[in-house]
Each structure stands twice: as structure tokens, then as C-alpha cells.
């Protein structure tokens, strides 16, 4: 009788322990798959801010011809360009505008990569216009 009762108690406990372990392992697996997502979202959002920063610096430089503004603009262009390439093809991207820290990004999934390549096609002429403006 005791053996039968102990089996009735042990089997549900083993099943419950197995479910808890399965949930734990699946949580670790999913978390590992998403570890770069927050960084990618933050860097993509920063790209929007950098386009606005470049526009502001271009206007400011056109009025002042201040070499510090030109240096800041060139750095902003470099950060934007490097980050865009890293978001598209994978690689290192600066985490701040001073290049104090960088992070390695995985290549974008194919459907995202197609959209980022469209952005690259728009970016290259814009970058060329900025460089032409700074040399004249």
C-alpha cells in the first residue's frame, strides 16, 4: 500500500520537476536568441538622431565655418556610416559618439538586410554631398 501511494506522489513530482526544467531551458534559449535585439533597436534609433544631428551641424558649419563643428560633423558621418554597415552586414559599431566602446553586431536577417541596403543606397549620395560641401 505504501509503495503504491509513494508512486502516486512521486510520478506527479517528477513530471512537475521536468516541466520546470523544460521552462527554464526554453527561457534561457529564447533569451539567448534575443540578446542582440535591444542593442540593434537602440542603434537603429540612434541612426535617426544622427541624421538630425548631421543636418544641424551642416547648417551650423555653413554659417560659422568653425573647424570644431566640421570635426563633429565628420565624426557624426563616420559613426552613422559605420553603424549602418554594422547593422546591415554585421561587425563592430560604436556605442557612443566618442568611440569609447564598440559592440559587435550579427548580420541582419535577409528581409531586414534588403531594407538596410535601400538605406545604404540613399545614404551614399547624401554622404558624398556632405563631403563635397565640406571641401568647397
pLDDT at 33: 80
| Range(s) of the domain holding residue 91 | 36-135
Total number of domains in the chain: 2
Total residue count of the chain as it appears in this document: 136
Domain co-membership, 83 together with 69:
yes
Q: List, in order, residues 6 or more apart from 114 with CB less than 8 Å away.
A: none
Q: What is the DSSP letter of 90?
A: -
10-residue block means of pLDDT along the chain (136 residues)?
A: 76 92 93 86 95 97 96 98 97 95 94 96 96 92
Kindly state whether residues 27 and 44 are assigned to the same domain. Answer: no
pLDDT value for 34: 83
Q: What is the pTM of this model?
A: 0.79
**pLDDT of res. 1:** 61
d(CA 105, CA 136): 36
Amino acid at each position: 500500500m505504501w509503495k503504491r501511494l509513494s508512486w502516486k506522489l512521486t510520478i506527479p513530482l517528477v513530471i512537475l520537476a521536468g516541466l520546470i526544467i523544460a521552462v527554464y531551458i526554453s527561457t534561457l534559449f529564447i533569451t539567448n536568441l534575443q540578446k542582440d535585439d535591444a542593442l540593434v533597436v537602440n542603434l537603429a534609433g540612434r541612426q535617426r538622431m544622427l541624421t538630425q544631428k548631421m543636418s544641424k551641424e551642416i547648417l551650423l558649419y555653413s554659417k560659422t565655418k568653425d573647424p570644431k563643428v566640421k570635426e563633429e560633423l565628420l565624426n557624426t558621418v563616420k559613426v552613422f556610416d559605420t553603424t549602418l554597415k554594422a547593422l546591415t552586414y554585421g561587425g563592430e559599431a560604436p556605442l557612443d559618439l566618442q568611440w569609447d566602446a564598440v559592440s559587435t553586431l550579427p548580420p541582419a536577417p535577409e528581409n531586414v538586410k534588403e531594407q538596410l541596403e535601400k538605406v545604404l543606397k540613399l545614404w551614399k549620395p547624401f554622404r558624398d554631398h556632405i563631403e563635397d560641401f565640406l571641401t568647397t
